[in-house]
């Protein structure tokens, strides 16, 4: 099984402990959003935009990065399906990737070069295609990935290893890299600092709206910007879904520090959402730092000057993760599941994921039914420590069960009214400790079956 990259030589193995002061101070921030000038498009014709969709935010230029999109032809219908980022010289990069045992060729490519000596210290380009995952394609897929990197490297006058790759789409089809090479001249001519919205659109597959987030932070009084886009709608249960996320900052941060920040925040953002419990072969989250803001360089994990930046990065990652759930295939409900008073943080996370992944819980939510018996089922099947006589369940402000029994003040009318809301909260007290965890999910509707039943058609 593939693993998340480990720290390089000379880097403390207790990275997360060094960043704990920042983690404990995190505040969830929702970036300001702009109303789209034109009606939203979906990644696949015929899909209705999710009722939980949010507008793409206003993202100003990020110094040191330009973006372009084009139609390479991986889809039959007329849409852009190729995205390229060009970065300033000296851009740092770090990534976390799927731990799926059948990783894709682009995942293997990025992991290998970011883990190598001095990897991630001068990344110059990122090439993303939608419509073909290039996963489960053997040597032919690996060769196609290498040729894609070579085409970009020649165009941007850099080494192949300094080009990152990402693909999304159908598994088991070798990437036709000739389609990408044929559009590189158009891509170079179209590079712009204002390409975030177009990029968010071009990386979509069954997504029904483009996903973006933006925040600012201070490093020694200098303002730095952080922007990101993501895609994902189904096959979402990241373990680092078909999830891709790309985040760029103009801060000047060493790759080892970027990796530490990414590993810290991915746990409570991308790894704390689930649509259907399925982990993709292509899950990738890449974080780039161009160093073009003029802020001082950060080269040490635990540097206190990172506190504000760490908080803003977490906000961007959480916002993108929430949007994945809001665009869950066929979703009509956005659901926050919190487990309290568990034996350990790991136990709390496992319990929350069991509830959030349960088809029975999710279909009950789709039917606007506060069936707390299904929540009890999802909790009990995990083998995690649970005190049955203290188990309590709440939907929003309304108690369904208290101390191992139906709540004496249960009000069916109030509960039914609450379950009609598009955004819901389920809180479960398992009474076995003091740890807590939160996972975000969506309901499971007939729409999920319809979308996946004709995915390849």
Q: Mark the binding-site residues for substrate, compressed into ranges.
A: 205, 231, 242, 329, 452, 457
163-170/92-97 β-pairing: unpaired
* Distance from C-alpha of 163 to C-alpha of 134, rounded to nearest angstrom: 17
In the sheet that holds 92-97, the strands lie side by side as: 92-97, 284-289, 244-249, 222-231, 211-219
- Torsion over CA: 272, 274, 278, 280 (sign): negative
Let me know if 438 is a catalytic residue: no
Give me the catalytic one of 42, 91, 137, 242: 242
* Distance from C-alpha of 283 to C-alpha of 276, rounded to nearest angstrom: 15
Q: DSSP secondary-structure letter at 73? A: S
Angle at which helix 359-366 crosses helix 372-380, to 10 degrees, equals 160
Contacts of 52 (CB under 8 A, 6+ apart): 326, 327, 331, 332, 333, 334, 422, 423, 442
Both structure tokens of 105: 């060729």
Nearest to 267 by CA among 207, 346, 214, 342: 346
Residue 408 neighbours by CB distance under 10 Å: 7
Nearest to 242 by CA among 117, 383, 131, 359: 131
Q: Are 283 and 243 in contact (CB under 8 A)?
A: yes
What is the set of active-site residues?
242
């Amino acid at each position: 099984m593939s693993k998340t990259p480990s720290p390089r030589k000379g880097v403390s193995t207790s990275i997360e402990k060094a960043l704990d002061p920042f983690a404990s101070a995190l505040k969830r921030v929702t970036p300001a959003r702009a109303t789209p000038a034109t009606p939203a498009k979906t990644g696949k014709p015929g899909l209705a935009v999710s009722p939980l969709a949010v507008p793409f935010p206003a993202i100003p230029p990020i110094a040191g990065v330009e973006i372009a999109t084009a139609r390479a032809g991986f889809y039959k219908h007329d849409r852009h399906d190729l995205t390229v980022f060009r970065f300033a010289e000296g851009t740092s990069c770090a990534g976390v990737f799927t731990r799926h045992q059948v990783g894709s060729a682009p995942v293997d490519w990025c992991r290998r070069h970011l883990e190598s000596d001095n990897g991630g210290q001068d990344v110059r380009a990122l090439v993303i295609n939608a419509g073909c995952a290039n996963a489960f394609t053997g040597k032919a897929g690996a060769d196609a990935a290498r040729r894609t990197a070579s085409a970009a490297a020649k165009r941007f006058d850099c080494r192949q290893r300094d080009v990152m790759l990402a693909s999304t789409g159908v598994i088991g089809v070798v990437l036709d890299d000739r389609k990408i090479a044929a559009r590189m001249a158009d891509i170079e001519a179209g590079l712009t600092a204002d390409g975030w919205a177009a990029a968010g659109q071009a990386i979509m597959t069954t997504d029904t709206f483009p996903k973006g987030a933006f925040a600012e932070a201070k490093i020694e009084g200098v303002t730095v910007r952080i922007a990101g886009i993501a895609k994902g709608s189904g096959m979402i249960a990241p373990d680092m879904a078909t999830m891709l996320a790309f985040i760029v900052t103009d801060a000047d941060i060493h790759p080892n520090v970027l990796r530490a920040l990414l590993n810290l925040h991915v746990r409570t953002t991308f790894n704390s959402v689930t649509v259907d419990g399925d982990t993709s072969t292509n899950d990738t989250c890449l974080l780039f730092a161009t160093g073009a803001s003029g802020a001082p360089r950060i080269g040490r994990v635990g540097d206190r000057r990172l506190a504000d930046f760490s908080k803003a990065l977490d906000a961007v990652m959480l916002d993108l993760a929430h949007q994945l759930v809001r665009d869950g295939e066929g979703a009509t409900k956005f659901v926050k599941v919190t487990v309290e008073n568990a034996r350990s943080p790991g136990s709390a996370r496992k319990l929350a994921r069991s509830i959030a992944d349960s088809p029975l819980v999710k279909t009950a939510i789709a039917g606007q039914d506060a069936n707390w018996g299904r929540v009890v089922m999802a909790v009990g099947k995990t083998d995690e420590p649970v005190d049955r006589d203290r188990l309590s369940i709440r939907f929003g402000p309304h108690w369904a069960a208290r101390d191992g029994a139906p709540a004496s003040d249960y009000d069916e009318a109030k509960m039914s009214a609450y379950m009609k809301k598009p955004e819901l909260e389920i809180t479960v007290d398992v009474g076995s400790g003091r740890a807590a965890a939160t996972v975000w999910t969506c309901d499971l509707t007939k729409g999920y079956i319809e979308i996946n039943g004709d995915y390849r058609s």
